[in-house]
Amino acid sequence: MSIFDKKINVQDRFDKASKGKSNGETRVIEEALLKPNPIPDYTGDTPKHHSNLEYRLVNIAFKTDNDMKLVNDYVMTISESFKGEKYITDISLLIHIAKAIKKGWDVAEVLNTFFAEKKAEKEAING
């Protein structure tokens, strides 16, 4: 059964009503007869996440303002959108640490290398 069934013959009704009418009168008849039908609600199952990206989206809450400031000042920059949402763009440090731990490497050494690379990148950009 089509969702549009209840409007059967509306075109015929419109044709009859608008025959020989002026442009302005036709607009009025359109408004009277040709209003849109609402779409029935969908009440079935929906995926838990709207996209694969949403699946990878993680919410982080710091316990205190100081903790947040500490992370922002020394580890990862926390930005704020004009709506006030806070977000971190560059999480490569976390990924480096995780990889290092997984491979059994010396995390301190990995961090030193990471920060040295970041510094070099910045210097290259700033000339």
Q: Using CB under 8 A as the criterion, which residues of the chain lie in contact with another protein when the complex forms?
A: 2-5, 7-8, 10-11, 14-15, 22-24, 26-28, 30-31, 33-40, 42, 44-54, 56-57, 79, 81, 85, 87-89
Considering the complex, state which of residue 28 and residue 120 has its C-beta at the smaller distance from another protein. Answer: 28
Considering the complex, state which of residue 15 and residue 73 has its C-beta at the smaller distance from another protein. Answer: 15
The residue behind tokens 């549009």 is 4
Collapsing DSSP states into helix, strand and coil, what is residue 50?
A: coil
Q: For the CB of residue 60, give the shortest distance to another protein in the complex, in Å.
A: 11
- Letter for the amino acid at 75? V
Structure tokens at 37: 């039908």
Considering the complex, state which of residue 38 and residue 104 has its C-beta at the smaller distance from another protein. Answer: 38
Name 80's bridge partners: 86
Q: For the CB of residue 110, give the shortest distance to another protein in the complex, in Å.
A: 23
Closest CA to 122 of 72, 71, 68, 77: 77
Collapsing DSSP states into helix, strand and coil, what is residue 125?
A: helix
Considering the complex, state which of residue 106 and residue 126 has its C-beta at the smaller distance from another protein. Answer: 126
